[in-house]
Amino acid sequence: MQIELIDTFLDLCETRSFNRTAERLGVTQSTISGRVKALETAVGQRLFIRSRAGTALTLQGMRFEPHARSLRLGWAEARHAISQSGGRAATVRIGIQHDLVGSHFSDLIRAFRAALPDTSFFFEADYSTQMCADLTTGAEDLAILFSPRFHPDLYFEPIGEITYEMVSTETDRLEEVRRETYILPHFSDAIPHAHAALHPALATATLSIGQNAAMVSLMRTMGGSAYVLRDSAGELAVEGVCRRVIDAQPIPQAVFVGVNQRQRHRAVQRRLFQILRDHFRAPALRAEARGG
């Protein structure tokens, strides 16, 4: 069976729209229709009902959905397994939120390698949405992220938090922060809501940034006021670039670890989960990730 038939089926389960799935997969709507017809022929059942109200799963389609998810993950695992040739160590693919790639990242890598010396690790910095998608398809084995996307195939666990603080090149008082030179934080899905509750007058600022490193760079080159990671705030203050806005409330951001449900209880994943729990709970390692 062609794996694109499974990918198309599962995307349709989410969008319930042939047109939307065609856009997301970068093909024509007739291609989507052809793939669905081919899959229905292969399984011998009708999987979708199309009407003016939209697209809905049949009873057989609903029964097939969990098996389709297993097939897609199994395919990814099979490709990964046969790529481990020539006696090379097994590779664990880990996604990590951009803002967590910093000072304590090296501590995590050392802990992972000490616990699993016969394992190879591939790390990739990304955003939460893409990491959740990669966990679902099996492209990643584990993700350390800010914004879980709840899905029947995925398991998430909170492991700690980091903190963002407001800094400014202009003032150390919140009442003097100007909307015209303020940069909105968008480091995760939750932060804009927390920020709007704290600073409604600044919520209409016209520039928004979604990565701490980019925010730090703008503070150094353009100036203004913004939230950055606590360690970055300290560095900017020491350099004389910025001052902390002392009466601006810090914004915490929860950190989660995610894994595909089928891999949740494997020995490697359990060991990595424990390392992450210990890392974020240990007082000596609670320093914030640096923005670089």
Domain boundary assignment for the chain = 3-83, 91-161+253-285, 163-252
* Domains 3-83 and 91-161+253-285 agree in fold: no
**Overall average pLDDT of the 246-255 stretch:** 96
The reported pLDDT for the residue numbered 163 is 94
* Domain 91-161+253-285 in this protein, CATH class: alpha beta
pLDDT digits (tens, 9 = 90+) for 184-213: 999 999 999 999 999 999 999 999 999 999
Phi, psi (deg, nearest 5) at residue 48: -130, 150
Q: Tell me: pLDDT of 126 over 60.
A: yes
Task: Work out the percent of the chain whose per-residue pLDDT is above 90.
Answer: 55
Residues in the chain: 292
Please give the residue that has the higher pLDDT: either 95 or 2: 95
Task: Work out the percent of the chain whose per-residue pLDDT is above 70.
Answer: 91
Residue 292: band (very low, low, confident or very high) from pLDDT cuts 50, 70, 90 = very low
CB 169 within 8 A of CB 212: no
Q: If one looks up domain 3-83 in CATH, what number appears? A: 1.10.10.10
What does DSSP assign to residue 88? P
User: Which amino acid, residue 53?
Assistant: A
The reported pLDDT for the residue numbered 286 is 44
State the Cα–Cα distance between residues 95 and 145, nearest whole angstrom: 8
Q: Tell me: pLDDT of 85 over 70.
A: no
The reported pLDDT for the residue numbered 290 is 41
**How many CB atoms are closer than 10 A to CB 2?**
11
Question: Looking only at Cα atoms, what is the longest distance across the chain?
Answer: 70
Among 74, 81, 70, 134, residue whose Cα is nearest residue 144:
134
CB 91 within 8 A of CB 122: yes
**Overall average pLDDT of the 271-278 stretch:** 92
The reported pLDDT for the residue numbered 282 is 57
The reported pLDDT for the residue numbered 86 is 52
The reported pLDDT for the residue numbered 173 is 97
**Overall average pLDDT of the 218-245 stretch:** 96
**How many CB atoms are closer than 10 A to CB 3?**
13
Which of 15-24, 74-83, 105-114, 175-184 is predicted with the least confidence, judged by mean pLDDT? 74-83
**Overall average pLDDT of the 159-174 stretch:** 95
Please give the residue that has the higher pLDDT: either 173 or 8: 173
Q: Tell me: pLDDT of 72 over 60.
A: yes
The reported pLDDT for the residue numbered 232 is 94
> What pTM value is reported for the model?
0.71
What three-state secondary structure class fits 232? helix
Instruction: Assign domain 163-252 to its CATH superfamily.
Output: Periplasmic binding protein-like II (3.40.190.10)
Q: Tell me: pLDDT of 1 over 60.
A: no
Q: Tell me: pLDDT of 257 over 70.
A: yes
**Overall average pLDDT of the 81-110 stretch:** 77
**Overall average pLDDT of the 88-115 stretch:** 84
The reported pLDDT for the residue numbered 82 is 64
pLDDT digits (tens, 9 = 90+) for 18-37: 988 998 888 999 999 999 99
Average pLDDT of the residues of the chain: 88
State the Cα–Cα distance between residues 285 and 103, nearest whole angstrom: 10
